[in-house]
Amino acid sequence: MTLFMPLTRSDKLHAPEAVRESEMATGVHGPRLKLERRLAAALGIAISAALVEVFGSLWSGSLALLTDAGHVGTDAVALGLSLAALRIAGRPHTPQMSFGYHRIEVLAAFVNAVLLAAIASSLALAVYGRIAHPQAVQGETMFAIGLAGLAANLTIVSLLGRSAQRNINIRGAFLHAYGDTLGSVGVVAGAVLIAVTRFVLVDTLIALFIVVLIGASTVRLLRDSARIILEGTPADLRPEEVAEAIRSIPAVRGVHDLHVWTVTSGLVVLTGHLSVAGNATVQEAARIVEAVQQRLRDRFQITHSTLQVDSLQDEMIAPADVTRMNPP
């Protein structure tokens, strides 16, 4: 006997309750308008800060300011992509897009990572050129512009910090801003050293430091977004623990063909087969499935699961035995 349970509460993907459930799980759909406003404000700040730092770099001759401006510029692009992805992800589910447009947020994070890699490469070439041909830097101007950039980045980080913990799309923009905040600290510290010591090589070293920061952010974001795109098991879940939790449910004899993956941040999906006794009825199988789904929601926050129930063949009565037990 093989039972397939397609109509459980968490499997009715088009039902209003399931839609609301998945929206709550993503962490951004409830206060979506508030988050969009934060992203829009951060976008305006990033564009303004990048323009100011480009002007300051031309004025002071600081390569560190130019690399920081490049990083802030990618912040602006990342914020724009995040804002667009957030709005697209809010579109309703359709029969053709059964999970909606949630994964567009992951795609935006991946694009952000590729953009970071391109910017880091171009800035590394600029650093190499400056090492070969050093030039004078105005430490006082560099300090003033760097301080303004630091204030802008701190504001962006405060706007996005909480949401970045729950959403990989927002995390992409946050990593841009966080890395750039560290870069701005380096610019300010380097400006002070240049103003005091007139050692202009500090500017190039700070620029190199910013490039390294961008590279680190790139690796983390590429890793996280690629894992979701490739439908890997979430990093904070161990399949062995999930399987053991399922087997601990009474009447579950075993579990196999278990797959766990992430649709988007906060929305984890599971499919699998449950082995039960051969004499289990359809009603008993339905209760087993419901108990397993409740365990998955409570312990692992897996809100969408599709489970097939398989009876153990060695516990079933063979047709020949049925004939002998019930002669005509």
> Could you tell me the CA-to-CA distances from 13 to 28, 64, 75, 172, 305 in Å, in that order?
19, 51, 35, 28, 11
pLDDT at residue 170 tops 50: yes
pLDDT at residue 327 tops 60: no
Q: In this predicted structure, what is the pLDDT of residue 317?
A: 45
Classify domain 31-229 at the CATH topology level: Alpha-lytic protease prodomain-like (1.20.1510)
Q: In this predicted structure, what is the pLDDT of residue 293?
A: 92
Q: In this predicted structure, what is the pLDDT of residue 5?
A: 43
Question: What Rg do the C-alpha atoms of the chain give, in angstroms?
Answer: 27
Q: In this predicted structure, what is the pLDDT of residue 244?
A: 92
Q: In this predicted structure, what is the pLDDT of residue 284?
A: 87
CA–CA distance, 195 with 138 (Å, rounded to integer): 7
pLDDT at residue 14 tops 50: no
Q: In this predicted structure, what is the pLDDT of residue 168?
A: 67
Q: In this predicted structure, what is the pLDDT of residue 228?
A: 83
Res. 113 pLDDT band, cuts 50 70 90: confident
Looking at per-residue pLDDT, the higher value among 74 and 50 belongs to 50
Q: What is the mean pLDDT of residues 126-146?
A: 76
Check the CA dihedral 92-98-99-105 and report its sign: negative
Residue 247 CA, chain-centre distance (Å), reads: 30
Looking at per-residue pLDDT, the higher value among 214 and 305 belongs to 305
pLDDT digits (tens, 9 = 90+) for 206-227: 778 878 877 887 888 888 888 8
Same-fold call for 2-12+234-325 versus 31-229: no
Q: In this predicted structure, what is the pLDDT of residue 35?
A: 77
Res. 7 pLDDT band, cuts 50 70 90: very low
Looking at per-residue pLDDT, the higher value among 300 and 32 belongs to 300
Q: In this predicted structure, what is the pLDDT of residue 311?
A: 77
Check the CA dihedral 62-68-74-80 and report its sign: negative
Q: Which residue in 259, 289, 260, 295 sits closest to 275, CA to CA?
A: 289
- Domain positions in the chain are 2-12+234-325, 31-229
Q: What is the mean pLDDT of residues 237-242?
A: 89
| Helical spans, DSSP H, in 61-200 | 63-89, 104-132, 139-164, 168-197
Minimum mean pLDDT among 13-17, 168-172, 306-310: which range?
13-17
> Could you tell me the CA-to-CA distances from 65 to 39, 59, 79, 146, 203 in Å, in that order?
24, 10, 21, 7, 9
pTM: 0.60
Res. 169 pLDDT band, cuts 50 70 90: low
CATH 3.30.70.1350 fits 2-12+234-325, yes or no: yes
Please give the mean pLDDT across all residues of the chain.
76
CA–CA distance, 65 with 317 (Å, rounded to integer): 79
Q: What is the mean pLDDT of residues 241-247?
A: 91
Q: In this predicted structure, what is the pLDDT of residue 314?
A: 52
